[in-house]
Amino acid sequence: MRPLLARSPLVRRLSQTVAALPVYHGSALADAPPAFTEVGLRYTQYAEDSLADDKVLFGSKDRYDIDITQLWIEAPVGASWSIALDLQNDYQTGASPWFVGATADGNPGVIMSGASIQDNRVEVGVTTRYFWADGNAGFNLVHSKEDDYEALAWSMDAAWNANGNATTWSVSASSSHDTVEPTQERIPVFIDSETLDTHSLYFGVSQILSRTAVVKVGLSYTYSEGFLSDPYKLRDQRPEEHHRYTLATGLRQHFIRLGGSLNADYRYYSDDWGSQSHTVSLGWVQPFDRHTVNPYLRYYSQGQADFFSPIADFTSDYYSDDYRLSSFGALTAGLRWTLELGDWIAEVQLERYVSDHSWGTFGGGEAPALVDFWRGTVGVIWRFD
C-alpha cells in the first residue's frame, strides 16, 4: 500500500515540515520511495565564446555549441522500490583547438580543427532503488553512444541513517567501459579504436549540527586505465593510468529570520598527473511563496598537469597542450528560478563561466584557448499520483 501521508502535494508539504522529528523516523516520512510519478523535460543550451583574434593562428574562431535535451520519468513501485528512466540527447557543433603553435612574436596561438564537427550523443540510463526505514540503495546502468564514442557504465550506491537520523552515511561504487573510434574528417587522427576503463569509489557522511545547520564530508577515488589522450588533438600523449582523489565538504545553513538557506561548499582535487584544484561555491536559496530563487557563485583554481605546456614538448614521454590541463582560475555566476504550481514545477537557469590564467592560485604556463561559456536551461516537471 502506498503511504497515506504522501498522496497529495498538500500532505507532502505539511509532512516535510516535521520530517526531521525522530517521532516520524521509520515512517513514510523517513526514507521512502517518491510519493509521485515524476516526469521531467529539460532543455539546455551551452554556447562557448569565440576565441579572440590574437589567440588563433588558423581556423575558425567559433567554438562548441551544444543543445542538450533531457527527459526523465521516476515512479514508485510498490511500497519499497522506485524506478527511473533517463534519456539525454546532446547535439554539438563547432570547432575545438587542434594544437598550439607559435605566433610570429613567439607567443602561443591556436590552430583550430575547423568548424566541421557535428555530433550527436544519446544516453539512456535506468536506476532502480530500494528503500527501507533507515536508508536506501540504488543500482544504475547507463549506455551512451555517439558517432565515435560508446560508453557503458554501472553504479551502486547506498545511504543509511543513524544516530536518530542526525547522521547519514553514504557509499557508492561505479565502473565504466568506454570505446573510442575517432572519425576521420578535416583533421587526421592516429588511432582506429581504443578503450578506457574507469572505476570509482565514494564514501561520505552528513551530520545535522543543529535545527538550522547540516554539514557533509565526502572522499572519492577514481582510477582510469586505457586511452586517456584526446584523439582529436595533434599533440596529446597522456599516461595510460590516472589516479584521482577528491575531498568535498559542504555546509547548509538555514536562516530562519530570512527564510533562506546558505549553501557553502569546498572541494579539493588531486591526481597523479600532478594536477590539483580548489573549488569554492556559495549559493543562496530563497523561497518566496511558490517561487524559489537560487543565485550562486563558484570559484575554481587549477594547477597544471606535469606534462602540460602551452606549446607541447615532444621530447617528453607525455605531453599535451590541452587548455583543460593548464593552470587557470575560473568564475561561475548563475541564477536558478523555480515556480511550483500545483503538480507542476517550472525552472529556468542561466549561468556564465569565465576563466583566466591570472585568476588561478597555481603557477604554470598559460594556455591560449581557455574557454568561456554561457549555459541556459528551461525545464518543466510534472508530478502525479
Partner 1 sequence: MGGPARVTINSDHHNAGAIKIAIDEVMSRLLTLEARYSRFKPGSLISQINARAGTGVFTPIDLETQSLIDLSDQLWRETKGLFDPTVGVLNQLWDFRTGRANTHVQLIHLLEKVGWDRVEIDERGIRLPEAGMEIDFGGLVKEFAADAAAAILRDAECQSALIELAGDIVAIGTEPHDRAWQIGITDPQAPARSIASVQLTNAAVCSSGNYARRFLHNGKLVSHLLHPRTGQPIDGPCSVTVIGESALVAGAIATVGCLHSEVLAESWLRQSALPWLVIDKHNQCSGPLGCSRSKP
Residues in touch with partner 1 (CB under 8 A): 3-5, 7-8, 10-11, 13-15, 17-18, 20-24, 26-29, 211-212, 255-257, 289, 385
Q: Which residue has the cell 570509482?
A: 200
Considering the complex, what minimum distance in angstroms separates the CB of residue 11 from partner 1?
Answer: 6
Considering the complex, what minimum distance in angstroms separates the CB of residue 256 from partner 1?
Answer: 5
Cβ-contact 327, 303 below 8 angstroms: yes
Quick one: 255 or 344, whose CB is closer to partner 1? 255
Quick one: 10 or 104, whose CB is closer to partner 1? 10
Considering the complex, what minimum distance in angstroms separates the CB of residue 6 from partner 1?
Answer: 8
**DSSP calls for 50-74:** PPPGGGEEES-S---EEEEEEEEEE
Considering the complex, what minimum distance in angstroms separates the CB of residue 293 from partner 1?
Answer: 17
Q: What is the DSSP letter of 379?
A: E
Considering the complex, what minimum distance in angstroms separates the CB of residue 129 from partner 1?
Answer: 21
**DSSP calls for 175-232:** EEEEEE----SSS----S-EEEEEEEEEEEEEEEEETTEEEEEEEEEEEEEE--S-TT
Considering the complex, what minimum distance in angstroms separates the CB of residue 381 from partner 1?
Answer: 19
Quick one: 47 or 166, whose CB is closer to partner 1? 166
Distance CA 26, CA 160 (A): 12
Alpha-carbon torsion angle 156, 241, 244, 368, nearest 10: -120
Q: Which three cell numbers stand for residue 249?
A: 565538504
Quick one: 28 or 66, whose CB is closer to partner 1? 28
Alpha-carbon torsion angle 243, 359, 45, 344, nearest 10: 90
Quick one: 21 or 297, whose CB is closer to partner 1? 21
Quick one: 20 or 189, whose CB is closer to partner 1? 20
| Pairing between β-strand 37-48 and β-strand 97-102 as defined by DSSP bridges | unpaired
Quick one: 257 or 317, whose CB is closer to partner 1? 257
Alpha-carbon torsion angle 291, 295, 276, 305, nearest 10: 100
279 vs 168, 182, 301, 304, CA distance in Å? 24, 33, 7, 15
Q: Which residue has the cell 575531498?
A: 247
Cβ-contact 323, 368 below 8 angstroms: yes
Considering the complex, what minimum distance in angstroms separates the CB of residue 258 from partner 1?
Answer: 8
Quick one: 20 or 137, whose CB is closer to partner 1? 20
Quick one: 20 or 83, whose CB is closer to partner 1? 20
Q: Which three cell numbers stand for residue 189?
A: 587522427
| 3 state SS of 9 | helix
Considering the complex, what minimum distance in angstroms separates the CB of residue 212 from partner 1?
Answer: 7
Residue 364, number of CB atoms within 10 A of its CB:
21
Considering the complex, what minimum distance in angstroms separates the CB of residue 56 from partner 1?
Answer: 54
